Amino acid sequence: MDLIQRFLFEDLDVRGALVQLGPVWRQIQRNRDYPPAVRSLLGEMAAVTAIIAGNLKTPGRITFQLSGHGAVSLLVIDCSETLNLRGFAKSEGPIVGNSISELLGDGRLLLSLDVEGMQQPYQSYVPLEGETIAAVFEHYLQQSEQAPAALFLAADGDNAAGLFLQKLPAADEKDADGWRRVHGLAQTVTPGELLSLDASVLLQRLFHEETLRVFEPKPVRHDYPPDREKISATLRALGREEIESLLADHGEVVVSDDLSNHEYRFSADEARALFDTPPPNLH
């Protein structure tokens, strides 16, 4: 688990990738009591973000934000060029339904791509097309890369997984029926198979009659340890007056890092001590 397995149909000019997340997905959800429908959306989005990050031509940090005005207001997944994955969801009120339109209402997808050397991240807004995470991202991929793509996603409380196929430019020249054939085979995969079968077993079961070149798998991780000093520096930047106002209202200062899934608490004495102790030298 926690890997991306890329592969190529050598005789067809069709590429693919399979991502399977276990411990990483459970870490992202740690101490978060997401309703099942929200959990499924976020897990599927984690899987497809990892796939896209693992296939970037120019490696960088990629962030997808899916926002709307429904009971689910925000889904965010962030993945670094080393496939370090994190994310969170925000929802309020009763969760009714499972489709994108039922849960998010009208919404949009924001892509941010931060590549080393760029002065600022590239950003692009994409209208939501489709009623599932798979459909939304199929539309995004076809618009951004001008090539047919297919996604099959699944997520539960323990695992998240995704299968990706993309038709490359020479596919019809190599085999006019190839894309239709492998797409049809991929459509037979079940959520249970995606979530439970070993990658090599699943690919063999689906495509045993095709010639696959399977590349070395890439590990996916969730490695964002708490950084209290960074939060302390942020609070210092707010200034003593703002901190005193927070203490007057709440008796303590609480900072939630939703993306990395950490909460930081500062008692009144700890918060005031931030301004009595010189900040550490940064090297």
Spatial separation of the C-alpha atoms in residues 65 and 74, rounded to whole Å:
7
Q: How far is CA 209 from CA 9, 141, 206, 212, 214, in A?
A: 11, 27, 9, 9, 15
Identify whether the C-beta of residue 126 lies closer than 8 Å to the C-beta of residue 108. yes
**Residues paired with 151 in a beta bridge:** 164
Computed over every residue of the chain, the mean pLDDT equals 93
Q: Please state the pTM of the whole predicted model.
A: 0.91
Q: Return the pLDDT at 119.
A: 80
Confidence of residue 271 (pLDDT cuts 50, 70, 90): very high
Within the chain, strands assigned E span 3-9, 14-21, 61-68, 72-79, 85-91, 107-114, 122-127, 149-155, 160-167, 212-214, 218-219, 252-257, 262-267
Q: Return the pLDDT at 278.
A: 63
Domains and CATH numbers, the chain: 3-219 (3.55.30.10), 228-273 (3.90.1280.10)
Q: Give residue for tokens 């190599």.
A: 174
Which tens digit of pLDDT belongs to each residue from 52-84?
999 988 889 999 999 999 999 999 999 999 999
